[in-house]
Amino acid sequence: MTQENKRVQNRLNAEEEMHGQSTKNVQSDLNGQSRENTDFAGNVQQERIQTAGNAEATVGDVKKGSHAELWRAIKFTLFSISAGVIEIILYSILDLVTPWPYWPCYLIALVASVLWNFTLNRQYTFQSANNVPVAMLKVAAFYAVFTPVTTVAGNYLAETAHWPGILVTLLNMLCNFVLEYLYDRYFVFGKSIDTNERAKKAADDSETHVSNK
């Protein structure tokens, strides 16, 4: 083989080697791109699953919160009815057996029903672990305004306008029910709802029940 033929053969071998290396590089790039596409698709799918899970959890939390708020309102209503029964009975007894005018009978009955209602709602409705004296002071502030207004207005309706005392008391109780629920829910117990031992035990039992499913 002549010198010229050797140079041609070497050049051909070099070109084949370069072509083979180029082919390997292209294949490697294609494989790398394929892996990246697969990883990207996997990440997108995982994000979709996570987003769906978060959305489902959010909907579940909203439903749970709505159910809890409805049940809280029902308990407050039931306890308020029991307090109202106490107030009506005590007012009626005082009105029948004493010569007092409307306002002292109403005032005594109101105080008794407030103490009853506060104790039950704090423990069972709002399940609050907040400081009792502080909560009582907040409730006292509410009644420092509510009591004189309803006492004076009620006394006027009963003694001057000659409305039946029971009717006046029922109207005061209705106002008391609506205003006190809003006041207790968002001011007295707002930041301490579901913090006492009863609420914590219920939450633990719920988590245990869910994990066992």
* Burial 108-145, CB ≥16 within 10 A → b, else e: bbbebbbebbbebbbebbbbbbbeeeebeeebeebbee
- As a whole number of angstroms, the distance between CA 72 and CA 121 comes to 9
Cβ within 8 Å of residue 91, ≥6 positions away: 105, 106, 108, 109, 165, 166, 169
Q: What is the pLDDT of residues 107-165, one digit of tens each?
A: 999 999 999 999 999 999 999 988 888 999 999 999 999 989 999 999 999 999 999 98
Q: Do residues 125 and 193 lie in contact, with contact meaning Cβ atoms separated by under 8 Å?
A: no
pTM of the model: 0.60
Q: What is the pLDDT of residues 38-61, one digit of tens each?
A: 665 566 566 666 655 554 545 445
- As a whole number of angstroms, the distance between CA 178 and CA 184 comes to 10
